[in-house]
Amino acid sequence: MTPSPSTTEEHPHITSRKALIGTWLALMALTLLTVAASKVHFGGTTEIVIALGIATVKASLVALVFMHLLYDKKFNVIIFLVSVLAVVLFVSITYTDVSSYKPDIEHADEVDGFETPGVGSATPR
C-alpha cells in the first residue's frame, strides 16, 4: 500500500492580514453608523432605505473578503449577485404589496371599531 498524501498541508491565505483588519474596522464603523442612524428619525421609508443600504454594504464586504469572492472566479460573483437581486426583488414586491393594502386595512379597522396594532390600543372605541 502506498501512503496517502497528507491532507494537512498548509495553504497560503489569500487575504492579507492588513486587508482583514481593514475590513473589520470598516464593519465596526458601519455598525456604529447603524446604531447612530437608529437614533435619528427620518421617517418610515427613509429609515428602511438607510438601514438596508448600510446592511448591504456590510454584507458585500463580508462576501467579498471573507467568502473570497474578491479573488474568486467571476462566475461565482455573478451567481451571488443574481441571488442578491432575487432577494431584493422579493422584498420590494412584498413591501409594495403591504403598502398598497394599508389604506384598506385602516378603513376596515375604523369600520370594526379597532385601531391598527402598534398605532394605538386594540380595544373597541
Which tens digits make up the pLDDT trace of 67-100? 888 888 889 889 988 998 999 899 888 888 877 7
Cell readout for 28 is 465596526
Best mean pLDDT range from 13-17, 38-42, 104-108: 38-42
Phi, psi (deg, nearest 5) at residue 117? -55, 140
Listed in sequence order, the residues at least 6 apart from 76 whose beta carbon sits closer than 8 Å to its beta carbon are 69
pLDDT of residue 116: 57
Mean pLDDT, residues 26-52: 91
Q: Quick one: CA dihedral 116, 99, 43, 36, positive or negative?
A: positive
- The type of residue at 117 is P
DSSP secondary structure code for residue 69 in this structure = T
Task: For residue 55, name the pLDDT band (cuts at 50, 70, 90).
Answer: very high
- What distance in Å separates the CA atoms of residue 62 and residue 15, rounded to the nearest whole number? 12
Whose grid coordinates read 461565482? Answer: 76
Report yes or no on whether pTM surpasses 0.95: no
Mean pLDDT score of the chain: 82
Mean pLDDT, residues 47-55: 91
